[in-house]
Amino acid sequence: MVNSLKFRSSLEKETNTLAVIARSDFPTLKQTNQEGKPLIYLDHAATSQKPYQVLQVLDHYYKHDNANVHRGAHQLSSRATEAFESAREITAQFVGAKASSEIIFTRNASEAINLFTRCWGDLTIKAGDEILLTVMEHHSNLVPWQLLAARTNCLLRYVSITEDGQLDVEDFKAQLNERTKLVSLVHVSNTLGCINPVTLISQLAHSVGALVLVDACQSLAHLPINVKQLGADVLVGSAHKLCGPTGIGFLWASEYLLESLPPFLGGGEMIQDVFLSYSSWAKLPHKFEAGTPSIGEAIGMGAAISYLQHLGLNRIQEWEQILTEHLFTGLSQIRGLRILGPQFSQQTHRAALASFTLEDIHANDLAAFLDTTGICIRSGHHCTQPLHRHYGITSSARASLSFTTTLEEIDYFVQELTETVDFFRKHN
Ligand SMILES: *Cc1c(COP(=O)(O)O)cnc(C)c1O
C-alpha cells in the first residue's frame, strides 16, 4: 500500500475516513492474496460486495424464519411473509413508488426487462411500431427487444452518442416520432459512466405518447432515485449491484400499467382460482410472481437498501465524485491511456468508474497482470458489445469504485497500472 498519502483537500480526507469506516462492514474486502497483498476490489459495477448487515439478515432468515410465503397459517410462514412483504415496501419507498404493489420481484434486471417485453410488448406492439434504444445499452436491454422485434416485426432504433461519450440528445430528438411506442435506456452507463438526462428524455418521449423504461442497475447504489422525478413508466434493478444478494431484482411500474398487462409466467402464487379449463389471476403484485420466490434474497435486498439509505445516497454520490476525480487525475498520467465516456469535471457528474484502453496492450493482459498484485478489475466488453464496436474496439479494461474504495486503493491501482504498462512496453 502507498503510505505517503497526501490529501489534496479536507473533502478528500473526510471521504477517505468515511470509506475506511464503511469498508469495515464488508468481510470480503478484508482478504489478502497468496503473497499477502491486500485485495483491491475495483469491479463493483459487475457486482457489489455484501456488508454484514445483509449477511446477518440472510443468516437469520434461514436459521429462524425459513418457510414458504403467502401459504399456511403457521408462525414461520407468517414471519417469512411479513419480512418478504416488508422488503417490497422498502424497495417501493426506495424508488419513490406509490405503493408496494407496484414492485414486482424478479430474478434480476434482465428478467425484469424480459417480463416487460413479453407482457407489454406482445400485447401492444405491432409491425411498424418503433422502440427507441441507445447504442450504449447493456445486452440485457438489447436482446429482449430484439426477440420482441423478431416476434412482432417492430423496428428497433438506436440513439447514438456524442464525441465526448454522452447520450446524443439531438439524435434522440431526431429519431423520436409518433411511431415510437417506447424508449428504453440506461440511467448510468456501465461502460461510459455517463449519467443520462432521463427526466428530459421522459418529457420528450411522453410528448409523442411513448413510454420510458429506465435501466437503473448502475444508478440505484450510487445516487438518489425517484421514479416520479425521472418521469419513468418502468424501472428495473438488480439487488446484487446494490450490496444485496444475487437471484433477486425488481421491476417497478404504475399499478395502472401493471393492471393492464397479462401475467408473465404461470404457476403457483400468481393465481386466484384454478379450474381444469381456466384460471383467474392473483392481485398485484403476485400476478407477475409465479412459483416460490427468492424469499431470503428478497429480504436481503431490503436489508441492502436499508444499509444504503442509512449511509445516505446523497452522501454516497458526493463521496464517489471525489473518488472519481482522484481516479481520473491518476489515470491521466498514464501515456496513451484513453478513457471511454465523458471526462471528469465538476459540472458533468460522472459515475465512479473508468473504462479505458491502451492501444498497445490488451485489456485482458492488464487485468491478468494486475490480479497478481491483488487488484481486481474487469476486462472485456462489459456486456456492451455494440458500444465497443461503435468505438472500433472489442474490449476495454474497467475500474469501478464504490463508497468503500479508499484513496490509497486508487493510488495503489494507478501505481501498479503504470508499472504494468511500462513492463509490457519494455517487453513487447
Ligand atoms: C448489470 C447490468 C444489467 C443486468 O443485470 P443482471 O443482474 O445481470 O440482470 C443491466 N444493465 C446494466 C446497466 C447493468 O450494469
Cell of 418: 503504470
Does the beta carbon of 108 sit less than 6 angstroms from any atom of ligand 1? yes
Cis peptide before 224 (omega within 30 of 0): no
Record the cell numbers describing residue 127, joined without a space.
Answer: 409491425
Q: Is the CB of 357 under 6 A from ligand 1?
A: no
Per residue in 380-418, pLDDT (tens digit) is 999 999 999 999 999 999 999 999 999 999 999 999 999
Going from the Cα of 220 to the center of ligand 1, the distance in angstroms, rounded, reads: 11
pLDDT tens-digit profile of 277-298?
Answer: 999 999 999 999 999 999 999 9
Determine the average pLDDT of the residues in 239-262.
98
What is the structure's pLDDT at 4? 54
384 lines ligand 1 (CB under 6 A): no
Q: What DSSP character marks residue 183?
A: E
Task: Using the mean position of ligand 1's atoms as its centre, give its distance from the Cα of residue 35 in Å.
Answer: 33
Give distance in angstroms: CA of 217 to centre of ligand 1: 6
Long-range own/partner contacts, residues 362-367 (CB < 8 A, 24 or more apart): 362/395, 363/395, 363/396, 363/397, 364/395, 365/424, 366/397, 366/417, 366/420, 366/421, 366/424, 367/397
Using 50, 70 and 90 to split pLDDT, how confident is the model at 3? very low
Amino acid identity of residue 281, one-letter, is W
| Span from the CA of 119 to the centroid of ligand 1 (angstroms) | 20
- E-strand stretches of 170-265: 180-186, 211-215, 234-238, 249-253
CATH 3.40.190.290 for the 54-310 domain, yes or no: no
Centroid of ligand 1 to alpha carbon of 244 (angstroms): 14
Q: Is omega for the bond preceding 285 within 30 degrees of 0, making it cis?
A: yes
Query: Collapsing DSSP states into helix, strand and coil, what is residue 338?
Result: strand
> Does ligand 1 lie within 6 Å of residue 140's CB atom?
yes
Q: Is 383 a catalytic residue?
A: yes
Q: Is the CB of 217 under 6 A from ligand 1?
A: yes
Residues with Cβ < 8 Å from 143, sequence gap 6 or more? none
Q: Residue 366's beta-bridge partner residues?
A: none
Q: 316, exposed or middle or buried, with CB in 10 Å at 0-12, 13-18, 19+?
A: buried
Residue nearest to atom 14 of ligand 1 (CA): 217
One-letter amino acid of 190: N
The answer, yes or no, to whether any atom of ligand 1 lies below 6 A from the CB of 196, is no
Cell 464488508 locates to 26
What span, in angstroms and rounded, lies between the C-alpha atoms of 364 and 379?
Answer: 5
Positions of E strands within 30-91: 40-41
Question: Which residues is 376 bridged to in the sheet?
Answer: 41
Angle CA 282–285–287, to nearest 5? 35
Query: How far from each other are the two terminal CA atoms of the chain, in whole angstroms?
Result: 28
Alpha-carbon distance of 361 to 102, in angstroms, equals: 47
Please name which of 129, 141, 137 lies closest in space to residue 161, comparing C-alpha atoms: 137
254's grid cell: 404504475
Question: 3-state SS of the chain: helix, strand, coil percent to 5?
Answer: 45, 15, 40
Instruction: Quote the ligand 1 centre to 238 CA distance (angstroms).
Output: 7
User: Buried b vs exposed e over 86-104: b needs ≥16 C-beta within 10 Å?
Assistant: ebbebbbebbbbeebbbbb
Atom of ligand 1 nearest to the CA of 215: 11
Give whole-number Cα distances, 378 to 71, 87, 250, 255, 366, in Å: 43, 31, 25, 38, 10
Q: Point out the least confidently predicted range of 18-22, 113-117, 251-255.
A: 18-22
Residue 48 in contact with ligand 1 by CB distance below 6 A: no
pLDDT in tens, 29-42: 999 988 899 999 99
Statement: residue 8 has pLDDT above 80: no
Kindly state the DSSP code that residue 192 receives in the 8-state scheme: T
Ligand 1 atom showing the smallest separation from residue 113 Cα? 9
Q: Which atom of ligand 1 is nearest to the CA of 109?
A: 9
280: which strand partners? 273
Give nearest CA residue, ligand 1 atom 8: 110
Which atom of ligand 1 is found nearest the CA of 45? Answer: 15
Task: Give, for 103, the enclosing helix (H) or strand (E).
Answer: strand 103-106
Indicate if the pLDDT at residue 63 is higher than 70. Answer: yes
Domain 2-43+314-427: which topology?
Answer: Aspartate Aminotransferase, domain 1 (3.90.1150)
pLDDT for res 79: 96
- Euclidean distance between CA atoms 51 and 54, whole angstroms: 6
pLDDT band at 2 (very low <50, low <70, confident <90, very high): very low
The answer, yes or no, to whether residue 122 has pLDDT greater than 50, is yes
| Domain spans, the chain | 2-43+314-427, 54-310
Beta strands in 16-83 (DSSP E): 40-41
* Nearest-atom index, ligand 1, CA of 140: 10
Q: Supply 117's cell numbers.
A: 417485453
Q: Is the CB of 184 under 6 A from ligand 1?
A: no
